[in-house]
Amino acid sequence: MSTNPVYSKKDFSSDQMVRWCPGCGDYSILAQVQTAFADLGIPREKFAVIAGIGCSSRFPYYM
């Protein structure tokens, strides 16, 4: 019988300082994606985070 590990938002956060403009909606999106990934119970290394251009292109570095 195996037990599923419990993940938290912190497990999906990097040590990189988040550099978006104050009030940017990307902060909220990042927080919600980190929470959703943790709730799924899937290990971090099983996810692929792909970003486009502009400020949101930094998204994978913050995961």
- Summarised one tens digit per residue, pLDDT across range 16-37 is 999 999 999 999 999 999 999 9
CA distance 53 to 47: 20
Q: Residue 4: which pLDDT band, with cuts at 50, 70 and 90?
A: confident
CA nearest 56: which of 15, 14, 37, 28? 28
Work out the burial of residue 62: count CB atoms within 10 Å of its CB; fewer than 13 is exposed, 13-18 middle, 19 or more buried: buried
Q: Are 32 and 59 in contact (CB under 8 A)?
A: no
